[in-house]
Each structure stands twice: as C-alpha cells, then as structure tokens.
Structure 1
C-alpha cells in the first residue's frame, strides 16, 4: 500500500522518527504493539518496527537509525523528506505482548527501543503493570527520551548509559533477579545485548516461555548460532551499547550453540563448498566457500526473496527436503532448527555435501 511521509524528526544522534499516513485517504490497517512493516526503498525491502501506540489510528511512526555500514536501507530512508510517497506492507507481528502477563519487564538496547516504546504505551493506556529499562551508549544516542520523560511513561522508565560512572550502569542480574511465573520479559536490540540479557535471565531462573526477544541485526561470527529466537523487524540495526556488560552489537553471541549430532560429511565443513539441488527444476548449483546460497543462486539468475540477508527477518525462509542445514540465523526457534526441515539461505549453509531445497 502507498503512504505519505508526513513528518521527519531527529530524535537522537543518527536516528529520525518518520510519521507515515495514508496516501489515498484510506484508513491504515490496525496493528498490535510489537508489530513491524516492510518498507520498499528503490528495490530494497527493509523491516521497521512501529513505535507509536496501537490506539493512534491513522498514522504509523518508525524510528530509523542511519547505519554507517548500511547496505542502503537506512541511508535511503534518511534521504526521504516530508511529502515522499512510500510503498509499505501491512503490519506483521512476531513479537507480541502476552495478554495474560501480570507484569512485563521491557529491556531495550539502542534502536531496539522502537517496538518496546509501542509496548510501553499500550501497557500504560490499558492499565497494565510494566517497567521499561533503556540502555544506550550515551544520552545523545537515546531515542524518544522526551516521550519517555513524560507521563505516563516517566514513572516506569529507567535510562542507563555506558558513559555513566561505575555503579550507575545497568546490572542485568539485579534487574532480572526475581523471576515470577506471571512476569514476562521482552528484550530488543543487537545480538550482543540480547545475549547478555538472555544469559542473565537464564542464570536467574526465568522460564524460557516467559522470555521474548527480537533481534535488530545478527551476529555474523563463523558458524555460531544465537540461542532460541523468533524475530521480526529486521534491518534497522542497532549500535551496541558498549561496556556496561551489555556488549557491542554481535559480541557475546558467538558460541551459543554447537553443531548438532546429525550425520555430517567432512566434505561439508563449516564454511566449505557444497551443492544445492532445486527440487522444482532439478537444477544443481555449486555454493563456493565464502558465498551464501542466495548469492550463488543469484549468480545463476535465480532470485530468492530476501530483505535483511542476515538471518533476522525470515523473508527467505525455505523448506529443506533433504540434507542437513547449518543454521546461522536468529529467526528460527531451537525446535525449528532441530527439525532441519526449513532454513534461511541468506546466511545458513550445509553440514552435508548437498541440500535439496523446495525452490
């Protein structure tokens, strides 16, 4: 659907708020807190979380961080000015609030504040119990602080900064030290931030069913796999929040899982070459070392729908008919990885000499 950029407002260093309205006067589809939309930007498709309250009918608000190492999405978005017409998809939500939680703990790292801001607004408006902890490298990099500093959010929000004196930085063990069967944890940010939070939650004894996360950028370190995740809103990419124990983006995520005990051939080492057979055409494509499946297929004129190309968004999710994939994404859950019947070919590889894909 087409929307018009109504407002563009700087809200932190390298971060702008974009307010979108319908281009044709028709009502925008409703959304739930935690949802994201696809934004089409000159051949690119990027996912951005909606950061306004679901009760605000008629507008979608996004927070987009301009990435120094952007693959084009954030740069193209920041080049847009009010009046620009954009093509977007309808809201989707892989990161919903649990409707039965008696209390919600929201932990945001960097630009990961965007879906959690929407959650906080919704929880406040509906009279539900919550607390919001927002971590950033320094005050200038904290987005939407004016909104967080005003009622009804200010009484339930705590800001944490890397440049604060020792002893005034966030202590995840303290924040998460008292898990409760009716309390749910929501964490969003870069992989290193999430790894630190999940580690603290596990040590504190949180029920994994009560822990929800959304990655804004994947750690791409060898064949490492980040722990169980169902994610959306990829492509925004958050800067790591530094040395508070939170970790830089991607740090601490490596080594979270080892290769499974499936039958693995020496011919398919972690980063070595392998082949992909396309079931729908019978064609076999070589995937060299250092090349992703998507890149190899693209080189043969075969296009697979992609967006983030980091294993975050799930756009390229593909059925595996034979062979064992080497999962390197942060989209699939542990159970989905163990089943080995689907994979994200934008980043994952093979543990067997050949994969047969439903392509």
Structure 2
C-alpha cells in the first residue's frame, strides 16, 4: 500500500555528463504540473533483467514541461542506474508527478546544506532556491574526487565563497561538529549522502543538543559495510521461502512472491515496510534512516525496502493480518 502515483508519458530529450560516472537525463513529460519544490522526487519505470520495475530519483531544477534527473552508475546497482545509462534521446518511458518528502522549511535564519557524492541532487535545487530568495546559506560538498562533483562549477558561480568542497582523494573531510556549532540557534541543516555520513551527522546533532526537527536528511545507496549478496526470507505465516537476488530489494521480492506488504517511500525513511525479525542466520545490513542505532542493535526489526541480510536466511513476520471479515494492512508492532 502506498500513496497514489500519477503516471505521465515521458520521452528523453537531452543526455549530459555533469561528472565522472554521473549521467543527467532531461525528459519531456506530458501533462506535467508547472512547478515543484526543491527536494522533490519522481518515480520512473525501468526495465531490469527484462522485467518492469520502478526506481525513484531526485528531480533537478527543470524547465516547464520537463523533468531532469542525475544518476550515478553504481557498482552495486540493482539495475536502475544501469537502465538510465542505456537511455538515448527519443527513448520513451513513464514518470510520476514529483512529490516532496525532503522539503525546505523556509523558517530558519541560516541554512547549512551538506552533500556527499550524488547526494548533491536535492541539495543543488535547495541551494538555487535559497540563493534566489536571498537566504543565508552555506554549502559543504564532498566526493571521492573533484571529477566526481556534479554541478560544482554552477554552484561555485551561484554561491561564491558560501560553498566549500572536499575531496577524499586529497585527504579532505567534513568538520560536521564545527559546522553545527557555527549555526545560529534557529539554524537548520539539510543533508543528503551515503549512509555513514548521515549516521555521523545524526549522532553529532543529537550530542549538540539541537532540536532534531531542525536536521533534515535523505539517504541513498548502500551502507558501505557489505557488498550486495543474495539471501532468503522465510515467512512462516505464509509457509513460503522467498529468494532475494543481489540486484533486488527484499520488499520487491516479497511483493513479487505474493506476500502482502505495507510500504510507501521505498527509501528507508517512513518505516511502513518494517518487518519483525524472528531469526537470522547471517548479519543484517541496515540501510534505513528510520530506526535508531539502538533499535538496529536489538535486531528485532528491519526496513524491507532498503535493508538486507548478508547471505543466509532470515525468518520474518510481515505484520499483515487477515481477519474473518476483511483484509487489513497494519504496520508491524
């Protein structure tokens, strides 16, 4: 179960390469609303191993009637980025009207924007919107190398000395504790990047005593702890054992196997797809931003849309119950 998606026919107009291993694709989209807020995302229909699937990407600032996305070709791709990299002008697919779960508040006296790698995609739009409105803003942007920093040149032109870049190749790193300490009391931070960056940011922000409501973040990709592996999911209530491929999420595998699930964001943020873990014969690779570090250590629940087992078999309860009168979807307890 998820929010209703409004699908639109889409055709590739332009292909660009704004950074090493990053492809930007602009689509002409039929009957598209005229505008959307920075931080919005769209769903796109892709083909993976000959089968239809849906992937979600941030929408970059786009001209009316178009949607532009930027996708990094990930070495552990589940197929979405590989599909986008096969597109060429004239190719057709379908995309949804953008929706936003990573919104700017427009209430702060100063905004700190933090981007790691391809996490620049929502931050780029935020930086442009804040700068256009004359808001106080600072952007810190890091990647493995300068060549992998998409849109860095445009952002330097836009922000001047309000942007600072960091290259791991040159031994540079964020000083998040110092950046947070420099924020005014009503300042806010917006982050998008790898799982490890966001975990560090959440812990430092909590330690600073600042309100958690003033830290906003969006996660992508894997946790960096384990490579993608296939594994099995045992669902005793349905008397099924479901195989999850290395290029597939547990949620997708369960749904394809006819297991009823409740879900929405597919990005490890809302927690609706969380399942109860009864037993696990392998380590768990938590990739969500919904559960706390303590909750993950308990190994009682995991988000099916992004988290995985590292091989082996896990036994779960999905939380779905069907009484004698009607089928009802419930979040796991």
TM-score of the superposed pair, with normalisation by structure 1: 0.68
Contact 1:181/1:207 (8 A) holds in 2: no
- Is 1:79 the counterpart of 2:86 in the alignment? yes
1:37-60, CA deviations, whole angstroms, 9 ceiling, x for partnerless residues?
01111212111111216xx43322
Paired with 1:27 and 1:63, the residues of 2 have a C-alpha distance of 19
Alignment RMSD (CA, Å): 4.0
2:125 is matched with 118
Paired with 1:114 and 1:288, the residues of 2 have a C-alpha distance of 33
Once the two structures are TM-superposed, the CA of residue 175 in structure 1 deviates from its matched residue by 1.8
1:357 is matched with 320
Once the two structures are TM-superposed, the CA of residue 274 in structure 1 deviates from its matched residue by 5.4
Once the two structures are TM-superposed, the CA of residue 329 in structure 1 deviates from its matched residue by 5.0
> Secondary structure of 1:195's match?
helix
Contact 1:325/1:348 (8 A) holds in 2: no
Q: Give the counterpart of 2:43 among 28, 32, 38.
A: 38
Q: Give the counterpart of 1:157 among 160, 163, 182.
A: 163
Q: Give the counterpart of 2:15 among 3, 8, 12.
A: 8
Paired with 2:65 and 2:120, the residues of 1 have a C-alpha distance of 22
Mean CA deviation greater in 345-354 or 196-205: 345-354
Once the two structures are TM-superposed, the CA of residue 126 in structure 1 deviates from its matched residue by 1.5
Paired with 1:324 and 1:47, the residues of 2 have a C-alpha distance of 30
Aligned counterparts, 1:212-231, within 5 A:
212-219=216-223
1:162-194, CA deviations, whole angstroms, 9 ceiling, x for partnerless residues?
123x5x543222222234331111110110122
Q: Per the alignment, do residues 138 and 319 of structure 1 end up closer, same or farther by CA in structure 2, a change over 3 Å counting?
A: closer
Q: Per the alignment, do residues 8 and 355 of structure 1 end up closer, same or farther by CA in structure 2, a change over 3 Å counting?
A: closer
Paired with 1:9 and 1:76, the residues of 2 have a C-alpha distance of 15
Paired with 1:82 and 1:90, the residues of 2 have a C-alpha distance of 21
Once the two structures are TM-superposed, the CA of residue 146 in structure 1 deviates from its matched residue by 2.3
2:325 is matched with none
Instruction: Give the count of matched residue pairs.
Output: 294
> Secondary structure of 2:169's match?
coil
For structure 2, list consecutive stretches of 5 or more residues without a partner in the other structure.
1-7, 322-328
Q: Per the alignment, do residues 139 and 293 of structure 1 end up closer, same or farther by CA in structure 2, a change over 3 Å counting?
A: closer
1:49 is matched with 58
Higher helix residue share: 2
Paired with 2:269 and 2:87, the residues of 1 have a C-alpha distance of 23
TM-score of the superposed pair, with normalisation by structure 2: 0.73
> Secondary structure of 1:163's match?
helix
Once the two structures are TM-superposed, the CA of residue 115 in structure 1 deviates from its matched residue by 0.2
